[in-house]
Amino acid sequence: MKEDTSEPIDLSSIEDFEIEPSWVKGKQDSSSYKDVPRKHKGHAKQKTSKEKFRGNKKQNNFTERKIVTSYDFQILPRINILEKIKKEMRKTGVSYALSDICETISSKNERFIVKARFKNDDEKSFIKTKIDQKIFSSADEAVDHLLKKRFEECFTKELDIEDKPNKSFGYAYKCSKTNILLPPNNYHRYDEMVKQHIFLHGITENYDMFVRSLVKVEDEDEIKAWLENPLKIYKFKFQNKDNTWYRGIDQLRSKLLFDLPSSFFEKEKIIKINGSDVKNLDRSIYEQFKQYFNFKPNWINSLFTSCLVNLKKSNFFIFKYSEKKHTYASAYKSNKPDEKQLTERVQKILKFLKETKENKKSQIIRSEKLGDLDPKIILVELKWMVKEGYITEFADGSVSIN
């Protein structure tokens, strides 16, 4: 049996996945959403990960750091990740602190789930666009996203009206993003053409912001050349069996807002998404989640409780250990050995563990007192005793008699 007893045991059979105790990991910030700007004066001392999560004890307290959001968020473990952890714990027999399990899960986005609901409003729903799984806090935002970002995939347009103005315009407006000219605001279809332009070109600004950004053009030759082609107004319909045409972008948008067709949208009072998919949240939701996640006390209790409940339901043994009475989990329940039923080798190892302060496997297998036993045999017997519940093995390679 080949085993590197100088290093903590990890879950190496899972690709890019390991549990290590916090004292082995050292100074490491598990947050994946660290782009919240922080102001620094002069050459301020850089904070450790613990200070980032817990705040400066001299200046801050929990109330000051707690983020006020419009949503109730929770961080929960992905079930398949917990199943992998439990499988490895059963296989190796190693006991882990619940805090280390939580740290392992929260350290990578794909290992946890984000759950959210509207705060103090049980009737309000999130709107999800089916085509790209984007999540919005209002129907207006969801509809506008579909029209601006997914128009070609969801809708069809055909020319409805060609309008050739009888007189020349004294001025026009130019879109700074597309360099396309738009009619002056005294033109009778001005609003309709501006809104059509916004949606067909995927412009992110709302109507008022876009209008303020337009550049006035008074060059006669440029306007004359533009008017050689008629102004075009389109009609629209859904890309499905519905053959109803809507005259103008306003009609199409109003229909979408009124019906929220199930072919395009889903309504959910509570959303659950993988941590790796949080960018699917609309910007306003994502920014609040990012602030929430970057302060660990906001979410660690719900993650800890969820892991604890899952482990208990799977018949894992939960116990307190260490001077600080941290909570640990083991796949094997603690048992008192009946020495009469034990082999001489096991009795000898147990006696050694009771009489010595050496509790690391690397020390045990090299001890002169067990010199007549092959180190590989000692490791095999230690693993057997762990699974029988006679001793407990921890992530740093130390063992303790139960």
Give the pLDDT confidence of 122-137 residue by residue, as tens digits: 889 999 999 999 999 9
- DSSP per-residue string spanning 1-70: ----TTS----TTSTT-----HHHH-S----S---------SSPPPPPHHHHHH--TTT--HHHHPPP-S
What residues form DSSP beta bridges with 42?
none
Q: From its phi and psi, is residue 381 left (phi > 0), alpha (psi between -120 and 50) or beta? A: alpha
Residues with Cβ within 8 Å of 327's Cβ and at least 6 positions away in sequence, in order, are: 97, 98, 99, 308, 318, 319, 320
Domain with CATH 1.10.10 in the chain: 339-401
Strands 391-394 and 94-97: parallel
Which is nearest to 277 in space by CA: 111, 154, 141?
111
Whether the predicted pLDDT of 37 surpasses 90: no
Residue type, 251: Q
Q: So what's the pLDDT on residue 19?
A: 57
Determine the Cα–Cα distance for residues 273 and 345; give it in Å rounded to an integer: 52
Residue whose token pair is 């947050």:
31
Q: So what's the pLDDT on residue 325?
A: 86
Whether the predicted pLDDT of 29 surpasses 80: no
Percent of the chain with pLDDT over 90: 65
Mean pLDDT of 321-337: 89
CATH of domain 339-401: 1.10.10
Q: So what's the pLDDT on residue 119?
A: 92
Mean pLDDT of the chain: 84
Q: So what's the pLDDT on residue 17?
A: 52
pLDDT in tens, 178-232: 999 999 999 999 999 999 999 999 999 999 999 999 999 999 999 999 999 999 9
Count CA within 13 A, CB hemisphere, residue 348: 16
pLDDT in tens, 258-315: 999 999 999 999 999 999 999 999 999 999 999 999 999 999 999 999 999 999 999 9
Share of the chain residues as helix, strand and coil, in percent rounded to the nearest 5 = 40, 20, 40
